[in-house]
Homo-oligomer: A and B are copies of this chain.
Amino acid sequence: MSKPKILIQIDPDAHCSVFDAVVAVDSGVDHLLQYANVQPDQVRDLVHGAMFTRGPDDLHQTAVFVGGTDVAAGERLLDRVKESFFGRMRVSVLLDASGANTTAAAAVLAARRHVPLANASALVLAATGPVGQRAVRLLAREGADVRVASRNLARAELVCQRVAERVEEACLHPVEAGDENSIRQALQGVSIVIAAGAAGIELMPGELVEQANSLRVAIDLNAVPPLGIGGVRAGDSGRLHSNVYCYGAIGVGGTKMQIHKAAIAQLFARNDQVLDAEEIYAIGRNLQLE
């Protein structure tokens, strides 16, 4: 009989995310061990405790989840988790701080339902945030031509540079998009727009959606009104509006949750996985094939 599934929830915040905890339980975890307020230099001892208890045949039944609200902090913890491993002595780990990986994966998969991504022209608004950066990465890897928009061109360029380091074949264009005019220009020829901005800020007025002839899919990941794209509703999940398939944060949420659960279940398949944006996206793509 196989050992119980243990998930070690590592969170830099003062309290571990309840959201992540409930999803872990609903993904079949038997024992959830919650560690809040985790600093990078505390990670090694926690991970060694996971590595040195169960034998090689059972090591895949222990895994680590890195969460919390601060994606950069989560990334630092993930780096420390990976540095703690010795060769084959390791456990699988999933990063989904702030839900950034599962959200970006769900958004790109929504776009993919309507437009073949290879060579598609996509615009990511507020692309310098954690979800935006991941959406850029995933679109670039699928072969899309991606316009990386920010109010600040230098920050957009930095994101392009970082993504290019990870995705060799990436086709990326930094875009300064601070006002309606610049966004109208950035939309020319674009078939997919993803708005990954902060809650309650409209990045793109509704008339731009109506005027953009090439646009097929508009995805807005902000759940708090006013939404990031005018005319899109939070609950939209492929609603056709002005000839554009619209998705809102809640509409994308169902797929996001499915991916999150599948990713946690996947952790326990082997002990050598690091599930970050690309791996989580691949899990989501497999779900849609089923």
Which A residues form the contact surface with B (CB < 8 A)? 3-4, 6, 8, 14-23, 25-26, 30-35, 37-38, 42, 45-50, 52-54, 62, 257
Contact = CB atoms under 8 A, between A and B. Distances in A.
Give the most central of A3, A26, A53, A257: most B CB within 10 Å.
Answer: A53
Contact of A14 (B3, B15, B42): B42
Contact of A33 (B6, B18, B42): B18
A77 to B, nearest CB: 13
22 contacts: A3-B25, A3-B26, A6-B21, A6-B22, A8-B18, A14-B37, A15-B35, A17-B49, A18-B33, A18-B35, A18-B45, A18-B46, A18-B53, A19-B48, A19-B52, A20-B49, A21-B33, A22-B50, A22-B53, A22-B54, A26-B54, A33-B34
B54 A18 contact: no
Contact of A26 (B33, B35, B53, B257): B53
Q: Is the interface of A mostly helix, strand, loop or mixed?
A: mixed
Nearest to A50: B18
Nearest to A28: B4
A31 B32 contact: yes
Contacts of A45: 15, 17-18
